[in-house]
């Protein structure tokens, strides 16, 4: 378990992380989502003990990282954003080197090597030089190095950055499989990747956590209004003007005229559905409906709202 309380980091007058609080339980895959420069990497470095906080505490399995950093680091596997590989080494040599740093040798190393090679799908590249491996394999090698000591906690900073779509899917499935047996905290600025991989999402903006919950919880908390796009023919100025009077719970946001038709952008509250009234009004006004398309809030809408307006409603 990871427990973060009032964690802050200042660089002079710059507040990189501002008194954040959260807990992560064993067996969870949690996504740390934020734009570049939001404070994700700084927070992860403090959680792993590679950076001292200005204030606040981090507890890992009830140990305070300020007093037990080395002990905690034996329980954590950390893959930083800049994957620390040695291209002149073979994959085997690199994993052997990382294992020796962890004091894992002999039969213990052979067992650990077999485990991470199998988990990370490295069977075909064990004796290749890292420099000759693809970006996807390099991420797998970095993950294998972070797992060589079989930690119960994995912290991954932007693990899919720079990968092609096929490689992203491979790493995603690997992370999801690891989440069945480990606590996984991964950061990313790629919304779709976080949404497809994790059990819970934390959104950080300008050093503050502005949302924390499952995808469904975030949708529920930030759902807002339903947007409706209507494409019609035969609408005139009077019938357009009378629409808001005829259907008061429907707000017309914008009207765009295109040749012989009008594009209406409207919104209404989640607890009402004026589409039947709108259809009847269109028929009585002589409109021809070409298209009616409702859209609801998604994770991208939530992210944009929180990171542009700074609203914290979680």
- Does 242 share its domain with 202? no
Q: Which two tokens stand for residue 204?
A: 């950080």
177 domain-assigned: yes
User: For residue 306, how far is the Cα from the chain centroid?
Assistant: 14
For residue 270, pLDDT over 90 is answered with: no
What is the phi/psi pair of residue 246, to 5°?
A: -70, -35
- Does 192 share its domain with 289? no
Residue 232, pLDDT score: 96
Q: State pTM to two decimals.
A: 0.77
- Does 197 share its domain with 238? no
| Dist CA 139 CA 74 (whole Å) | 21
**C-beta contacts of 283-286 below 8 A and 24+ residues apart:** 285/234, 285/235, 285/239, 285/242, 286/234, 286/239
Taking CA atoms, 195 is separated from 23, 32, 179, 190, in Å, by: 19, 11, 15, 9
- Does 138 share its domain with 205? yes
Which contiguous run of DSSP H or E holds residue 314? Answer: none
87: domain CATH number? 3.40.50.300
150 domain-assigned: yes
Give the pLDDT band of residue 58 (cuts 50, 70, 90): very high
Min mean pLDDT across 4-13, 110-119, 182-191, 294-303 is at 294-303
Q: What is the pLDDT of residues 21-57, one digit of tens each?
A: 999 999 899 999 999 899 999 999 999 999 999 999 9
Which of these, 177, 161, 179, 182, lies nearest to 121 by C-alpha position? 177
Question: Where does residue 211 rank: exposed (0-12), middle (13-18), buried (19+ CB within 10 A)?
Answer: buried
- Does 204 share its domain with 100? yes
- Does 150 share its domain with 286? no
Q: Which of 186, 220, 254 is the last residue of a domain?
A: 220
For residue 310, pLDDT over 50 is answered with: no
E strand residue ranges, the chain: 2-11, 14-24, 29-33, 55-60, 63-64, 76-79, 153-157, 183-188, 200-205, 208-213, 226-233, 251-258, 261-268, 288-295
45 domain-assigned: yes
- Does 239 share its domain with 168? no
Helices (H), 53-164: 69-73, 91-101, 106-120, 135-147
307 domain-assigned: no
Total of domains in the chain: 2
Most confidently predicted of 224-228, 285-289, 294-298: 285-289
- Does 137 share its domain with 267? no
Residue 297, pLDDT score: 67
For residue 85, pLDDT over 90 is answered with: yes
301 domain-assigned: no
- Does 119 share its domain with 15? yes
Q: Average of pLDDT values for 149-156?
A: 95
| Dist CA 193 CA 212 (whole Å) | 17
Q: What is the pLDDT of residues 167-200, one digit of tens each?
A: 888 889 989 988 888 999 999 888 888 888 999 9
For residue 314, pLDDT over 60 is answered with: no
- Does 18 share its domain with 104? yes
276: domain CATH number? 3.30.70.3100
Q: Starting at the edge strand that comes first in sequence, how are the strands of the sheet with 55-60 ordered?
A: 14-24, 2-11, 55-60, 63-64
Q: Which two tokens stand for residue 64?
A: 């305070």
303 domain-assigned: no
Give the pLDDT band of residue 313 (cuts 50, 70, 90): very low
Give the pLDDT band of residue 311 (cuts 50, 70, 90): very low
Q: What percent of the chain has pLDDT over 70?
A: 96
Q: Average of pLDDT values for 278-292?
A: 95
User: Over the chain, what is the mean pLDDT?
Assistant: 91
Q: Half-sphere exposure of residue 35, counting CA atoms within 13 Å on the CB side?
A: 11
| Dist CA 78 CA 159 (whole Å) | 11
- Does 212 share its domain with 263? no
188 domain-assigned: yes
Q: Which of 168, 193, 220 is the last residue of a domain?
A: 220
Residue numbers of the domain that contains 36: 2-220
What is the phi/psi pair of residue 171, to 5°?
A: -70, -35
Give the pLDDT band of residue 309 (cuts 50, 70, 90): low
Q: Are 22 and 190 in contact (CB under 8 A)?
A: no
Q: What percent of the chain has pLDDT over 90?
A: 73
Q: Which of 172, 188, 220 is the last residue of a domain?
A: 220
105 domain-assigned: yes
- Does 27 share its domain with 106? yes
């Amino acid at each position: 378990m990871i427990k973060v309380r009032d964690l802050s980091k200042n660089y002079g007058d710059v507040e990189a992380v501002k008194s954040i609080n959260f807990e992560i339980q064993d067996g969870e895959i949690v996504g740390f989502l934020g734009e570049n420069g939001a404070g994700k990497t700084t927070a992860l470095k403090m959680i792993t003990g590679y950076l001292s906080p200005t204030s606040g505490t981090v507890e890992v399995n009830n140990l305070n990282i300020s007093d037990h950093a080395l002990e905690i680091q034996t329980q954590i596997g950390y893959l930083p954003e800049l994957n620390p590989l040695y291209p002149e080494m073979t994959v085997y040599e690199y994993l052997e080197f990382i294992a020796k740093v962890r004091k894992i040798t002999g039969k213990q190393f052979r067992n650990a090597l077999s485990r991470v090679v199998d988990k990370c799908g490295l069977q075909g590249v064990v004796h290749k030089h890292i420099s000759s491996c693809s970006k996807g394999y390099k991420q797998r090698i970095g993950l294998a190095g972070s797992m060589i000591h079989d930690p119960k906690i994995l912290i991954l900073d932007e693990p899919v950055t720079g990968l092609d779509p096929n490689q992203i899917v491979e790493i995603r499935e690997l992370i999801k499989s690891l989440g069945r047996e480990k606590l996984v905290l991964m950061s990313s600025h790629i919304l779709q990747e976080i949404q497809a991989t994790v059990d819970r999402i934390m959104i950080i903006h300008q050093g503050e956590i502005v949302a924390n919950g499952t995808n469904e919880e975030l949708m529920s908390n930030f759902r807002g209004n339903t947007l409706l796009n209507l494409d019609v023919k035969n609408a005139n100025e009077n019938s357009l003007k009378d629409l808001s009077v005829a259907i008061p719970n429907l707000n017309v946001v914008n009207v765009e005229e295109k040749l012989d038709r009008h594009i209406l952008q409207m919104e209404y509250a989640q607890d009402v559905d004026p589409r039947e009234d709108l259809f009847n009004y269109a028929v009585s006004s002589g409109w021809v409906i070409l298209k009616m398309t409702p859209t609801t809030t998604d994770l991208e809408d939530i992210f944009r709202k929180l990171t542009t307006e700074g609203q914290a409603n979680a």
